Copies of this chain bind each other. A is one copy, B any other.
Amino acid sequence: MSTLTLFRDAAETKTFAAGETIFVEGDDGKHLYVVMSGSVRLSVTGRTLEKVGKGGVFGEMALIDAAPRSATATALTECALVPVTAQRFKALVREDPDFALEIMRVMAARLRSMDRRL
C-alpha cells in the first residue's frame, strides 16, 4: 500500500499557497506531512535539498528523534498536505510495517542524495 493510498481518505487536509512557508529550520516539529497534490521545497540555509511531489512525505525526522526541524519547507505550488501527528506516526509504524519501510526508503533516498553532494 502506498503512503498516498493510506492517507487518501484523511479528513484533515491543509492547503498552502505557492510560496507559503510550511515550517522553518529550528522549529519544533509536531507533524510529518504527506503530499496529496502540488509540490514542496525542502531547504537548509537557503539551499534546496529536495523537491517533494504528490505521494511524497517530509517532516518525519522531527517525529522520529523529537529534535527541531533540520530544514525549511516551502510550498512550491499550491499544495494539499495531510499532517500526521507523532502519536499517529508511531501507531502506523506499529500497525503497518510497510509504512515503516516506506518511511525508511524516503530517508535512504535522502541520504543517498546527500552522499552524492559530498
Q: Is A88 an interface residue (CB 8 A)?
A: no
| 11 more CB-based (< 8 A) A-B contacts, given A100-B104, A114-B114 | A44-B115, A61-B108, A61-B112, A65-B105, A65-B108, A65-B112, A71-B115, A90-B97, A97-B100, A104-B107, A117-B118
Instruction: Report A35-69 residues with CB < 8 Å from chain B CB.
Output: 44-45, 47, 49, 60-61, 64-65, 67
Report the separation of the CA atoms of residues A74 and B32 in the bound assembly, to the nearest whole angstrom.
35
Q: How many copies does the complex hold?
A: 2
Q: Which residues of A are interface residues toward B (Cβ below 8 A)?
A: 44-45, 47, 49, 60-61, 64-65, 67, 70-71, 90, 93-94, 97, 100-101, 103-105, 107-112, 114-115, 117-118
CB nearest to A100 among chain B residues: B100
